[in-house]
Amino acid sequence: MKKLIITGTDTDIGKTVFSAALMLGLETSKQNPHYWKPVQSGITDGVDTRTVQKITNLPDERFLPERYIFSEPLSPHRAAEIDGLEINIDQLSNANNIPESDGIMIIEGAGGLMVPLTRDNLQINLYKKWNIPVILCARTALGTINHTLLSLEALWSRNIPIKGIVFIGEENLDNIRTIAEFSKVKILGHMPKLNAIDDVTLRLVFGNNFNAQDFIS
């Protein structure tokens, strides 16, 4: 079973919408994609798993249940404390505990790489133990060069495999070019700002801006 981690250079980058677009792109390519968000912080607008399912209109069996759901939209370590809970890192970091699927497993992280899951562990430490290729979602706007290169440095220093970078937002060709030149990391594509978010729109956006084979091979 092939697995991919979707992470971001910051919170509210657009990881969830991109995850939905990737699900649809892989579905079109007959890859039977599955989605899993192990840690969900914040339930005011519902959980991201249901958001992705609603957008994609894919069947229930493609969406795996969260391991942890916390009420407040905060860093997982603090959200857990408020709910009187704690993430069991040893259990979560065991690759054997990742749900099985008969297609590509898309794993969406909570926020950015350096988000604390507990008072002792950052999310990036979990990714290190999993050793699953990471797709880094980055903004196109001002500040993205610094944030993206710092995120890549954090991944490189831990020898975490990087599948590539996805840019999200208004077109900014020079920011994308500059990051590509400095990092030498593959640019997987650019998802523009969308006025409508539904399965028809995302299939079109993915088809026009990404190559499904980059995520399959």
From 3, 15, 37, 54, the catalytic residue: 37
Residue 109 corresponds to which amino acid? G
Reply yes or no on whether 37 is catalytic.
yes
If you write DSSP's letter for every residue of the chain in order, what string do you get?
--EEEEEESSTTSSHHHHHHHHHHHHHHTT---EEE-SEEE--TT--HHHHHHHHHT--GGGEEPPSEEESSSS-HHHHHHHTT----HHHHH-GGGSPP-SSPEEEEEEEETT-BSSSS-BHHHHHHHHT--EEEEEESSTTHHHHHHHHHHHHHHTT--EEEEEEESS--HHHHHHHHHHH---EEEEE---S--SHHHHHHHHHHHB-HHHHH-
The set of catalytic residues is 37
